[in-house]
Amino acid sequence: MEDLVESILDYIRSDYTDYAVMINGEWGSGKTHFWNNKVRKKIESMQLNGKRYTTIYMSLYGISNLEEISKKIFIETTHLMDKNLRKFMNNNEQTTIPEYAKTGLDMANLFGVTQSGDKIDYAEFFSTDDKVLCFDDLERANVDVIDILGYINNFVEHDHIKTIIICNEKELSTKLKSSNLEMKTFIATYLLDKQGELNKADVPMVEKIQDKIEHVFDKANDYERIKEKLIGETFEYAPKFDYIINGILMRYENNPDLIRFLRENTRLIISTFHKSGTRNLRILKHALNDFKKIFEMVNKSYPNTNNRVMQTMLIFTIAISFEIKAGKITKDKFINIKDNEEYKSILVSSRILMDNRQFYIKEFDNNYYYNFKSEYRFFKFIEYYVRTRIFDMKLFKENMETIRNTVDTENLPAYKRLLTEEYWKISDDQFDIIIKEVLEEVKEGKHTLIDIVKLFAYFSYFSRRGLIEYDLKTLKNTFFNGMNIASLTSQYCDNVEDELGKIAIDDVAEDMDEILKHFHMLNEQLLDKMNKEKAEEIMKCIPMKMEQFYEKFDKQCMDMPIFKYYDPFQLFQRISCASNEDIVLIKEKLIDRVDRFAKEIEPEMQNIKQLKQIIEDYLKGKEPTIKIVMLNEFLSSLDYILDKYKNKLNFLPKKDEIS
């Protein structure tokens, strides 16, 4: 950065210049801060040919006509001749007059009031060789950029005043192309119509209109021409963000607890900043100010909150600030997520269902939490605070109570401390107590199957590191037995990979293979148990609650082999008692289902074959009735279904096997 400062100073030192220089950089990257704290001070400390330079800074933000620029320059220059005003500004380290004060000066001039009795020193007033003009926010002016540059060119080319222009050329380019787009499109369409090009299909219409707009309204080329004439050098402002971020943290030096936490997590702040994909330091400053409020509220109301949760809050505050304030998303992306559990369920469903509406949340999580494992990753009270600027105490307490009861504080169960905290943060005197308590709970099968698997990874690691006295063989037997007991009360785990990904140990040993194999066997049994319960719940709706049956079947069973989990004979009894109309509807659903999800429902085909055999036996020798005809058609639909698998099914069960 010092090289950039020196290059700008070389321009100031040059005896004769008829060009300006430009500092180009992204919004919020610190260009104005760089001017005020690096460049301006160096310029004003220079002395050439017995003269000191004076800088005159003007932001063009919101300027709507060239006269406003002239007024700003006049006020900024005439205050230099007013002794009282100059003395006041020097004493108070003011470099520019506040906008509200300029309004007062305007009114004073209007009514003939002067700031002192001194007469204007015209020699100083007309002097230009000791002035440096700085125009900031070029792309944010409400005046045509071409007109502004032409105006500035008068100072540069005719008066040879050293001039520095600060802007974001990427945004400037977008502004040049998008201004008055509706009017440009209308005129381009009109011209194409007159030229007979509108109805030709040789080139896509959008491309034709775009080409015509660029041909007729090529402001970008006008800008390049005047820039080539006016700007002698363009300096790219690419700051060393690590250094600047460390400087930003200094503003919190008067808060010992906060600054200590921020200093300890500087790499986390810098990493999250880089992951945002922007270079906007202004948003980072706002995010850290928001986190200051969050940190103080948490420390005041929940002083025992563990370090990992606080780190996650820091990441989330910075991440959500960039996502919302950098214009990367609409605020509605997070508005309907009510808590951390819903956030995690969206992540799971976005992987399984490939739901594009939820794809953004998955990308957000993968980006900001990459290589950072945390049980609690979405804080509704923080999202709401950043989005609305309201710190909702009710939301805050709800979130923090959930955290306290699941992943945080001294009240956390022993096994949770192993699963959610870095184990090395557990004190030596607590470690042995926790190990014994957790092992006893595993023996009794008190935890879910997946948690027992995760706990084994830690115990295996501790054993290999000599932190516990249990050998691996003993541990395996204990955990195998504990898993068997736990399987009697556990629920099926459908996001195994996500859960195993939370293990905060890189060195996972091969002895996990046997534990995982046993887990998958038990988990499949739990899946069968869950599906049998679901099948019983759904099939019992036949024949008396058919509306409920159709609703549940459509939502839950179309791509699930539900008939694998229900006795074929009981199913036949229910179908045979249904109305003729319902038999037809069920038949149509089964045909549609196999056409769409043949692979997914294949495991149920053995039971479908048994159902077919049962219906055939029932229909033998029966006199034709409407019900019998409907059942025959139903039987034909089963033939159609089974025909899709005829090369895969090896046998047809015998009658005595069915009964």
Q: What is the SS3 assignment for 608-619?
A: HHHHHHHHHHHH
Beta bridge partners of 23: 166, 235
Mean pLDDT by 10 residues, the chain (659 residues): 83 85 81 85 83 85 82 65 57 54 49 48 54 88 84 84 88 64 64 71 72 59 74 80 75 91 91 86 90 95 88 95 77 83 76 59 89 87 93 95 73 73 75 91 93 91 88 90 94 85 66 89 93 94 94 92 94 94 94 93 93 94 92 94 77 44
Q: Given the DSSP bridges, would you call strands 51-52 and 54-59 parallel, antiparallel or unpaired?
A: unpaired
- DSSP conformation class of 557: T
The whole-number pLDDT of residue 352 equals 47
Residue 148: closest CA among 207, 251, 63: 63
2-176 to CATH, choices 3.10.450, 3.90.79, 2.40.160, 3.40.50: 3.40.50
Q: Given the DSSP bridges, would you call strands 51-52 and 47-48 parallel, antiparallel or unpaired?
A: antiparallel
The whole-number pLDDT of residue 518 equals 93
The whole-number pLDDT of residue 55 equals 87
- Angle among Cα 187, 193, 196 to the nearest 5 degrees reads 145
CA-CA distance, 576 to 581, in Å (whole number)? 12
CA-CA distance, 60 to 268, in Å (whole number)? 36
Residue 16 phi, psi (nearest 5): -135, 125
Residue 23 phi, psi (nearest 5): -110, 115
* End-to-end C-alpha distance for the chain, whole angstroms: 86
Q: Where are the domains of the chain?
A: 2-176, 241-412, 447-528, 545-658
Beta bridge partners of 20: 231
Alpha helices in 378-495, H assignment, sequence order: 380-388, 393-406, 414-420, 428-443, 449-464, 472-486
